[in-house]
């Protein structure tokens, strides 16, 4: 799909595209999600594309790359503050 003045910055599952779109919008980037709207079992897993204006494409790709590079690991402080887990017999 090609739209004059817009660039595709992501292709993938619809759910992931919606999450990335939210990140881009929070960063002030205009974004549109394109794809089929087929749903099943409460989750939409169809393929989608994210498009942004050409002049925002480089910034969008940078934001996506930074988001992909982040790991969802707990901080050391969070681990230290968490109460110990105990296994209690049932």
Instruction: Give the tens place of pLDDT for each residue, 47-84.
Output: 899 999 999 999 999 999 988 887 655 555 555 555 55
**Quick one: DSSP state of residue 85?**
P
What is 6-69's CATH number, 3.30.70.790, 2.120.10.80, 3.40.50.720, 3.40.50.300? 3.30.70.790
Give the C-alpha separation, 32 to 88, whole Å: 50
Element (H, E) at 81: helix 76-81
Pick from 33-37, 67-71, 84-88: least confident: 84-88
The residue extents of the domains of the chain are 6-69
73 three-state secondary structure: coil
**What was the pLDDT predicted at 2?**
65
**What was the pLDDT predicted at 47?**
85
């Amino acid at each position: 799909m090609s739209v004059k003045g817009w660039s595709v910055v992501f292709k993938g599952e619809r759910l992931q595209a919606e999450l990335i779109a939210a990140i881009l919008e929070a960063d002030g980037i205009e974004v549109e999600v394109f794809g089929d709207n087929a749903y099943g079992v409460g989750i939409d897993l169809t393929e989608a594309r994210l498009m942004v204006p050409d002049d925002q494409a480089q910034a969008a790709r940078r934001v996506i790359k930074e988001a992909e590079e982040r790991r969802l690991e707990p901080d050391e402080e969070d681990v230290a503050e968490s109460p110990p887990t105990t296994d209690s017999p049932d």
